[in-house]
Structure 1
Amino acid sequence: MNLKKTTIFRVRQRLHETDMVSDRPRSGRPTQRQDRNLVRNHMNNRFLLASASSRHTRERNNQRISANTVRRRLSTSGLRARCPYIGPILTQSLRHQRTLWAQEHAACDRIQWRQVVFSDEPRFCIDHADGHVHLWRKSGERYQANCVREHDREAQRGHTHY
């Protein structure tokens, strides 16, 4: 057979322990198909956590892929974990209205702006975690609708001051 005695011993021992002579499953890097699926899932759901994605992604031999592996694979494809822009999703009509407002007030001088009150009230977050929310996006996608975490403007208007 032209094999070493240790090889025959290990195969025999494996047969005795597992009733199989084939290699045991071991971890490995994700395939290109898995990479494409990871990227597609994170492009469809930008706020999907890498740890959640790793729980649902399996390797060829049905073992879990670690969250760090998911992060590396997404980073290789150009996606980065970033804090989302929090604000209203700007539709075409909202963009047009904001542009008109800016054009109307472009000629205002310092005296007129001194009459504007800028408040520094404390901020209370009711509808999302404060700060540690990330999304996966490419460079230049900050204001795209699926990369914006919309805040509830009506809830902010109705809050009570004490």
Structure 2
Amino acid sequence: MNVNRTTIFRLRQRLQETNTVSDRPRSGRPRCTTQRQDRNLVRNHVKNRFLSASASSCQTRGRNNQRISANTVRRRLSTSGLRARRPYIGPILTQCHRHQHTLWAQEHAAWDRIQWRSVVFSDEFRFCIDHADGRVRV
């Protein structure tokens, strides 16, 4: 197994004492929010997608009426599956638009390389390396 003998001995001893080889609970810093507060944070952010983590941290008090940080709010939202995304800015496609897109694709499905060479595809993207661009995330 390529493991030290003492490791095997300790695991066997722990199995005999506790009927499991998993780690025992350790002491650590207690969470600053309760499970109920975590659920309320998630519910508030689902209702209001534009609510920032810093604004939510100012509104929420943790255990013993202590202030929680914005990073704590972000961690709680992340563990529940919510992540920051940029909001969609653009026209909302209707059924008519989707039908027209499908017709266009079907008309151009048989094009060969020579016909596609006359088409210019452009993908514009803005890169901001030095500073924050001020875009809102939801």
TM-score bucket of the superposed structures, by smaller chain: 0.5 to 0.7
Q: How many residues align?
A: 104
Superposed counterparts of 1:131-142, under 5 Å? 132-135=135-138
Q: Percent identity?
A: 81
Write the letter of the residue equivalent to 1:69.
Answer: T
Unaligned runs of 5+ in 2: 1-29, 127-131
**Aligned equivalent of 1:36:** 39
Aligned counterpart for 2:110 among listed residues 107, 111, 122: 107
Q: Deviations over 1:18-63 (max 9, x none)?
A: xxxxxxxxx9521222111111121122232211111111224433
Code of the residue aligned with 1:112 in structure 2: it is: Q
1:113-132 alignment runs, 5 A limit? 113-118=116-121, 130=133, 132=135
The Cα shift of 1:84 comes to 4.2
Q: 2:73 aligns with which of 70, 74, 77?
A: 70
**Partners in 2 of 1:92 and 1:44 — Cα distance?**
27
The answer to whether the Cα contact below 8 Å between 2:77 and 2:83 also exists between their aligned partners in 1 is: yes
* TM-score, normalised by the number of residues in structure 2: 0.57
Matched, 1:97 2:104: no
* C-alpha distance 94-28 of structure 1, shift in aligned 2 (>3 A): same
5+ unaligned residues in a row in structure 1: which ranges?
1-26, 124-128, 136-162
Name the amino acid aligned to 1:90. L
Cα distance, 1:96–1:121 mapped onto 2, change above 3 Å: closer
Query: Is residue 88 of structure 1 aligned with residue 110 of structure 2?
Result: no
